[in-house]
Structure 1
Amino acid sequence: MSVKTFLVNLRSKINANALPLPYKFVTGNQSADMDSVISAVSYSYFENLKDNNSYVIPLVNIPKEDLKLRRDIESLLQSHSITEDLLYFLEDFEILSGGATNELILVDHCNIQGDLLHQRMNEGKLKVVSIIDHHADEGVFLDSHPRIIHSNGSNSCLVFNYWYDQLGRNDALLKQNSDIIELLLGPLLIDTSNMTQKVEEGDVSAFSKYKQILDLGAGNAPIIKQFVGPDAGDDIVAGFYKKLKTAKKDLSGFRFVDVLRKDYKQFSFLSGDNVGFSSIGKSLKWVLSNYTIEEIRETLSKALVDFNVDALVITSSYTQKETNIYTREFCYYYEDKANARFNELDSLVKEPLQLNDSVYGADKVGTKLTKVNTDSKGIFKIYNQVNIKASRKQVVPIVKEALEKYSLDHTL
């Protein structure tokens, strides 16, 4: 059974009101990156593969219109003939989740994310029953089962490894349904930069099984081969990664707000602060060169309102084309200039993130940054982040701890 066939069957059952209530959903995190989307789709697929009477609805935790900002995901899904009408977005969830208490499985995060899901939880219409995640354990939903939370490069591998055991480690069955394995290879390669960075035991184990099931050594991955095309060369895996990475980095035609929305999460901290986190694959030099001062200033200010946050953190990661040096930057914007926590946030996180002022293209960035902050409602700060091992997954808890500790220390 192909993934598309499964999703078509699921859609027809929902349209015919043929699924028993309450519904069960599986959702990735609010960034809705490839790892989250494929983790949710694959979990749903595998549960049905084990029990063809069991249907879990895979939820993409963004509005439907935002999928177009994720060109890598669109291209991967299209290679499997999966169109957006076969997926489920927040608009669908709002309609489908309004009745009895529905069960929810969290993948690629371990706590509720997003206003609508928080609302349904507060209304008593959601119960978290399972978690498979590779982020820091937030210590909630302790009675969920399975509750698999540990570090790994790609969360999709944790999903696969769990279901591989549940399916009796049945390679023959997966060879008959290898379409799902070709889909799963995508997020593994993206999250580990083609198995060169952040690779952990779960990734190695899953990749070994993927190669065996697909017989990658012989190039037997028909969907991937067609997707990569004649330029694949001898290394089809490298060709697959390169094409997905190119699609992910393609921001042509994007407004600055689209860049911010493309990979976005937000969190509420015990300090009382709501903070948004946008991850971008371009330098701040690129941002300041490609958008006008007015657009940057207006977009940052409007983002606080639209996202309903007190501050917006931007984490960038890219390779400098002149030197091939992999680089990260830490930036943030806020408008409450009387908020001492935000005024000092850069100092509070300076040590763990190893921040300094040696920003790529510092002269141009500094000049443009001064113009952005002139006559602005808020303050925008940009730093080079020497600790390149700290992606957003590490930055969020560092910011959380800094703000909460500062708040606690100054209320005693």
Structure 2
Amino acid sequence: MDLELRRYYNDLLYKAEKKENDKDDKNIMNGRMMYNLVIGNKSADLDSIVSAITYSRILNLINNTINFDENNKIYGIHLPVINCNRNELKLKFPLIALINYFSNNQDNDSGDDFQIENMPFICLDDDIINELILEMEKLDNEKKHVNFGHYITLVDHNTLDTFQKNFNERVVSIVDHHQDYMTTKSNYRLSLGTNIGSCSTLIGKIWRDSYEKGKINQQTLIENKIFLEMIVCTILKDTCNFNQKLSGKRWSSLDLEVYNWIIEILSLIEKNNEEIISKKYTDLYINFLKNANRNIDIIFNNELIELFKMDYKDFIYNNKFGNEVVIIGYSSFEID
């Protein structure tokens, strides 16, 4: 999996570097490559990270078309952004466990020396993000808004974070499963409420719809197997392996529906029956993902202040007049 993800990110960055040489590329405007920043929520948990990566992938595959509407194309490179600084990647224990598992069990060319810090993920403090923020600020000052330059897509949340709040006009797509107060406008919105267990379920639905509408074919699914695997593993984690006691609270029929569709596709790819394939991923969840945040050795190797960054979110609270009053941060981590 680490090799496939490296190839994906390296391909994105290569396209960004060749922008000066392709005048016919519709992703280039006035000599500037356009980007759609696909950003998960502030906690940068597994669901947010996987949603950003897999949604950016399908957008790049289906010719930049949001919601399959040819009149609603978002040109540009769809960049998956992990909503944390690079030095915080070491705290993303479920992501590390997931990539480690596939690297050691499926990637024949991978060794045992996987280090998440060496992955070419795009983080908030990377130069490319700092440059794009400056460009967006410049464009906004020049009154050049959503139809010019760069865009933002929110996954696993539906309101702009503190650093993004000035870019409200640039939000073009929202995919989320939290309470949505519709405070952020967007051309496209897939926000089905809190009964959906995982945002990755909604991304999986978009992959399924893309396939059923003929935007991608079976060969494309085969070539993008790792993205489907990331989705299915995240769904299992967020639904607690479809714990029946949590049905209707932590997961819905749509979660199970999308999970079963992906298992069906993976069984075709691996030429094995669905029961065996499903057991493979449930075993992965039980043995590697379920308690990834409770790894005592990893926890003790980090400072307490670092652990508070594992699952951190901040919220802006306004008074009745809509004026910003205070920003409060919340942090949590599992101990049992």
1:73 Cα deviation after fit: 0.8
1:143 Cα deviation after fit: 4.0
Contact 1:47–1:56 (CA under 8 A) maintained in structure 2: yes
Q: Which amino acid aligns with 1:275?
A: I
Match of 1:236 in 2: 280
Contact 1:219–1:236 (CA under 8 A) maintained in structure 2: no
Match of 2:125 in 1: 91
Which of the residues 76, 79, 96 maps onto 1:74? 96
Q: Which moved more, 1:144-153 or 1:101-110?
A: 144-153
Percent identity reads 26
| Match runs of 1:342-381 below 5 Å | none
Contact 2:34–2:77 (CA under 8 A) maintained in structure 1: no
Q: For structure 1, list consecutive stretches of 5 or more residues without a partner in the other structure.
A: 226-233, 283-317, 319-412
1:269 Cα deviation after fit: 0.8
Contact 1:131–1:149 (CA under 8 A) maintained in structure 2: no
Q: Distance in 2 between matches of 1:220 and 1:75?
A: 25
2:240 equivalent to 1:193: yes
1:85 Cα deviation after fit: 4.1
Q: Distance in 2 between matches of 1:17 and 1:220?
A: 43
Contact 2:34–2:150 (CA under 8 A) maintained in structure 1: yes
Contact 2:97–2:292 (CA under 8 A) maintained in structure 1: yes
Which of the residues 125, 142, 152 maps onto 1:104? 152
Change (3 A) 1:249 1:131: same
Instruction: Tell me the secondary structure at the aligned position of residue 110 of structure 1.
Output: coil
Q: Which amino acid aligns with 2:42?
A: Q
Change (3 A) 1:270 1:188: same
Q: Which amino acid aligns with 2:294?
A: K
Q: For structure 2, list consecutive stretches of 5 or more residues without a partner in the other structure.
A: 21-26, 65-74, 104-109, 140-148, 320-324
How big is each residue's C-alpha offset from its partner over 1:301-331, in whole Å with a ceiling of 9 and x where there is no partner? xxxxxxxxxxxxxxxxx3xxxxxxxxxxxxx
Q: Which amino acid aligns with 1:90?
A: L
Contact 2:38–2:81 (CA under 8 A) maintained in structure 1: yes
1:158 Cα deviation after fit: 0.5
Contact 1:94–1:116 (CA under 8 A) maintained in structure 2: no
2:210 equivalent to 1:177: no
Change (3 A) 1:55 1:22: closer
Change (3 A) 1:158 1:255: same
Instruction: Tell me the secondary structure at the aligned position of residue 84 of structure 2.
Output: coil
2:181 equivalent to 1:138: yes
Match of 1:215 in 2: 267
Relative contact order, CA 8 A, sep 6+: which one is greater? Answer: 2
Instruction: Tell me the secondary structure at the aligned position of residue 277 of structure 1.
Output: strand
Q: Which moved more, 1:162-171 or 1:36-45?
A: 162-171
Match of 2:329 in 1: 276
How big is each residue's C-alpha offset from its partner over 1:162-216, in whole Å with a ceiling of 9 and x where there is no partner? 2321333567242443221111122111111112131212211111112101119
Q: Distance in 1 between matches of 2:84 and 2:235?
A: 22
| Match runs of 1:57-68 below 5 Å | 57-68=79-90
| Match runs of 1:18-37 below 5 Å | 20=28, 21-37=33-49
1:45 Cα deviation after fit: 0.6
Match of 2:311 in 1: 263
Aligned residue-pair number: 267
Q: Distance in 2 between matches of 1:6 and 1:218?
A: 22
CA RMSD of aligned residues (A): 2.9
Change (3 A) 1:268 1:149: same
Match of 1:252 in 2: 300
Q: What TM-score do you get using the length of structure 2 for normalisation?
A: 0.71
Instruction: Tell me the secondary structure at the aligned position of residue 210 of structure 1.
Output: helix
Q: Which amino acid aligns with 1:27?
A: I
Greater Rg, structure 1 or structure 2? 1
Which of the residues 23, 42, 58 maps onto 1:46? 58
1:280 Cα deviation after fit: 1.2
Match of 1:339 in 2: none
